[in-house]
Structure 1
Amino acid sequence: MALTVGAFFGIMLAGVPIALCLCLGALIYMAAAGNMQLLPNYPLQMFGGVDSYGLIAIPLFILIGEIMNGGGITRRIVDLAMAFVGSLKGGLAYVNILANMFVSSILGSATAQVAIMAQVMVPEMERKGYDKDFAAGLTAYGGMLGPIIPPSVMFVVYAVLAQVSVSDMLMSGIVPGVLLTLLFFLVIAGMGFVYNYPAGDKLSLRERVKIVLGAAPTLLIPIVIVGSILGGFANATEAAAVGSVAAALIGCYWTKELKFKQMPQMMLRAGVYSAIVLFLVAAAAVFSWVLVYGKVPQAVAASIQAIAKDPVTFMLLVNVILLVIGTVIDGIPGLIMTVPILLPIAAEVYNIDPRHFGVVVVINLVLGLLSPPVGLCFFVAAAVTGAKPGRMFMVTLPFFIISCVLLVLLSIYPWLSLALVK
């Protein structure tokens, strides 16, 4: 198995896409172990990995994001956030996070959200006197909400890997996502006091009402998605389908910026991204099969049990491991590589609820997108705004610290993740 692991990381460092690394790693294990009789099962394992009804939600959620972008919904959501908190001291910083929270309930992808919101928020914050690196870094942390507040592609992938309800996983992210937003607000309040951030423009009651009425229909999209799941009217896949229809109708008939001639191109982009994600899931199924066959989870479990004697210690140890992994590997590949090894240990040895474990895993890996040396979300924000990734990390370090505090709280108190799960 050591040869397989070494070959896997060697191939990955050579720049081969992670999905191909997983596929090749499985083949190398078969050859090294002299188990080529497993080869006929190879394509069956790949097919089995994506043979899940829950995975249909992924292209639908991605399509919702495409429709939202084309329909001018993002701008109206920013205006809505401005009406609520824009006049406070440091108002645009609050608006940045609140708008990201609203957008995350539609997009569900950290990098996509950062790319969109950085174009909208950073120039406006610069005009009001905010430091560009701080504005870009804050937007990157706002994008962290994307994979936590439903819909979330990462939660869908985790649900399939862990064989738990997709709807349950999506609901598990609501309370942690709202808590993270409130903690970010506290950090902004503290930093605003220290650095004397400017207050936003004051709006009259008439202007606020006009903005809210103009943007309110856009909130029907997350209400339809989350409400139908919470109310038991639809599962995650059905809710995503209804949500995409709602987004299209709002874009066409309310904002009137979405044209049906744009739909084929949107569907093509959604299809390409979905294919990438689903190929990763198929490759993960093969690699997980090899790990189980090689009894890797059992070996790792024995090592961890020697250190962690109780569930809380185990969860804190997992936080450290995943945060390190997340700094060098993107979210979904990191999920695919770690869940087959760590989840059986969490569930069978420490009796940890898989849904609670999934929330902690996803937040850790997303936080890794905001940590050196890779910090993918910072690089996305830098590419859009021209800010410097290294300085972005330093000026937004309090947000990293408060995110780690949330992870510790979630590790100690599982009910924070499971409060809305039936």
Structure 2
Amino acid sequence: MQFTLIGFIVLIAFGVPIAFVLGLITLISIATTGNMAMLYSLPSRMFSSTLNFGLVAIPLFILVGELMNYGGITRRLINFCTALLGHVRGGLAYVNVLANAMAASIMGSANAQIAVMSKVMVPEMERQGYKKDFSTALTVSSSVMGPLIPPSMPFILFAVTANGAVSIAALFIAGIIPGILFGIAFAILVSFFARKHNFPKSERVKFSVISKSFLNILPAMIIPGAIIIGIMTGAFTATESAAIASLVAILVGFFLYKELKLKDIPKILINTTVNSAIVTFLVATASIFGWILTFEQIPQLIADYIMSIVSGPMTFLLVVNIFLLLVGMFMEGAAAMIILVPILMPVALSYGIDPLHFGVIVVVNLTIGILTPPVGTGLFIASSIVDITLERLIKSVIPFLVAALIVLLIITYIPSISTWIPSQMTK
């Protein structure tokens, strides 16, 4: 196992994509242990790991995000938020937070949200006198809401890797209040900076303009509305909601907004296919890596060690938070989740921790990883799009990172924040 660990560290250090790292480490482990017969089972195990109905939701929600971008939905969301809040001191910064929250209810991916919002919000904030450092940091940080407010691809992966301990639909609903908490925390921080730096504000617009902007976004809001209402009423599953959301996004883009064109469809499908293939390949390689870990009894050893040093559920959650934050600094969130959830979930259940609560904690921790160097993907995406150095961006992100950690602690030690809405659905 020493060769496996050394190989993992070396490959990560050289920047090899995590999916390839997991596959190569599996082969190294088999070769060094002499269990060559396991090679015959690798292809079937990789294939079978992707045969999960819940995973079908991932390409569908990616498709929804692509349709939204090409269909003009993002621009209309921002226009509404600007009409509503632009006249407030630091109004465009509040717009950034609110627009990210609304986009989160459609996209479900933090990285996709960062890419879209960085192209739109940062240049506009610069034109109105905001510093690029602050604008970019706010945009990146606000994207943390993406995986929490449904739909959410990380919640789908968590449910799949938790081996049926919790449903995708319940996780979607559990993330609503935590996502709103992050929005409130960032808005409070914006309020502080607005007074400190005397942020600009625009003229108050007429109520008729706000009303028109609101009517413009109503068709787009059918998408998250259909998802949440459908899941809460039991009308359809999370995967079925993804298909319905895709259909609604097509209808809205083609017939209501009329910005989605037939010529855009090939590009949309290609982007969806490529991004879906990346996630699927990661699931496949992580599954065989997890198989090797199980064969070596690593999960059991880790679980036994944790239980030997941790006295209760509150201490366990603190240890998990610290551990996952460290992991998120060096590993992409989806890969970390696929590897670690099967190890940590049984331990969490043994301490009597609600699986919904634990799922939200895991997703929040690994999502915060997009804000932390050296592997924070959100930092790299935003810095390349807006042309800002990583050093400047990291320095500006620190206050938002502190706010995110405070919210994480609140979510961790007040379980009802995650479990209250799902509990009401079962009554």
Q: If the TM-score is normalised by the length of the shorter chain, which range does it land in?
A: over 0.9
Note if 1:384 corresponds to 2:385.
Answer: yes
Matches within 5 A, 1:92-241: 92-163=92-163, 164-241=166-243
Is this contact kept in 1: 2:96–2:121, CA < 8 A? yes
For residues 395 and 201 of structure 1, the distance between their equivalents in structure 2, rounded to whole angstroms, comes to: 28
Give CA deviations for 1:364-398 in whole Å, capped at 9, x if unaligned. 11111111223321221111112232222323322
SS in 1 for 2:145: coil
Counterpart residue identity of residue 260, structure 1: L
For residues 330 and 38 of structure 1, the distance between their equivalents in structure 2, rounded to whole angstroms, comes to: 27
Matches within 5 A, 1:9-408: 9-163=9-163, 164-348=166-350, 350-408=351-409
Is this contact kept in 1: 2:46–2:288, CA < 8 A? yes
Q: CA deviation at 1:221?
A: 1.1
- Unmatched runs of 5 consecutive residues or more in structure 2: none
For residues 17 and 375 of structure 2, the distance between their equivalents in structure 1, rounded to whole angstroms, comes to: 16
RMSD (CA atoms) = 1.5
* TM-score after normalising by structure 1: 0.96
Counterpart residue identity of residue 193, structure 1: R
Q: CA deviation at 1:334?
A: 2.1
Counterpart residue identity of residue 320, structure 2: V
Give CA deviations for 1:156-206 in whole Å, capped at 9, x if unaligned. 111111123111222221111011111111111122122221223311111
* TM-score after normalising by structure 2: 0.95
Q: CA deviation at 1:78?
A: 0.4
Counterpart residue identity of residue 384, structure 1: I
Counterpart residue identity of residue 100, structure 1: N
For residues 116 and 28 of structure 1, the distance between their equivalents in structure 2, rounded to whole angstroms, comes to: 39
For residues 247 and 307 of structure 2, the distance between their equivalents in structure 1, rounded to whole angstroms, comes to: 49
Is this contact kept in 2: 1:326–1:334, CA < 8 A? yes
For residues 379 and 26 of structure 1, the distance between their equivalents in structure 2, rounded to whole angstroms, comes to: 28
For residues 375 and 238 of structure 1, the distance between their equivalents in structure 2, rounded to whole angstroms, comes to: 32
Q: Which moved more, 1:193-202 or 1:95-104?
A: 193-202
SS in 2 for 1:419: helix
For residues 366 and 201 of structure 1, the distance between their equivalents in structure 2, rounded to whole angstroms, comes to: 36
- Unmatched runs of 5 consecutive residues or more in structure 1: none
Counterpart residue identity of residue 109, structure 2: S
Is this contact kept in 2: 1:86–1:200, CA < 8 A? yes
For residues 374 and 201 of structure 1, the distance between their equivalents in structure 2, rounded to whole angstroms, comes to: 41
Give CA deviations for 1:110-163 in whole Å, capped at 9, x if unaligned. 111111111111111111111111001100011111112111111111111112
Q: Which moved more, 1:280-289 or 1:130-139?
A: 280-289
Give CA deviations for 1:250-278 in whole Å, capped at 9, x if unaligned. 11111110012321221121011101101
Is this contact kept in 2: 1:83–1:212, CA < 8 A? no
Is this contact kept in 2: 1:79–1:215, CA < 8 A? no
For residues 119 and 410 of structure 1, the distance between their equivalents in structure 2, rounded to whole angstroms, comes to: 31
Q: CA deviation at 1:331?
A: 1.7
Give CA deviations for 1:51-80 in whole Å, capped at 9, x if unaligned. 100100000000001100111110000011
Counterpart residue identity of residue 139, structure 2: T
Residue 416 of structure 1 is matched in structure 2 by: 417
Q: CA deviation at 1:93?
A: 0.6
Provide the identity percentage: 43
Give CA deviations for 1:22-59 in whole Å, capped at 9, x if unaligned. 12222222233332333332222212211100100000
Q: Which moved more, 1:385-394 or 1:119-128?
A: 385-394
Is this contact kept in 2: 1:133–1:388, CA < 8 A? no
For residues 316 and 67 of structure 2, the distance between their equivalents in structure 1, rounded to whole angstroms, comes to: 42
Is this contact kept in 2: 1:297–1:344, CA < 8 A? no
For residues 397 and 70 of structure 1, the distance between their equivalents in structure 2, rounded to whole angstroms, comes to: 33
Counterpart residue identity of residue 66, structure 2: E
Runs of 4+ in 1 over 4 A off after TM superposition: none
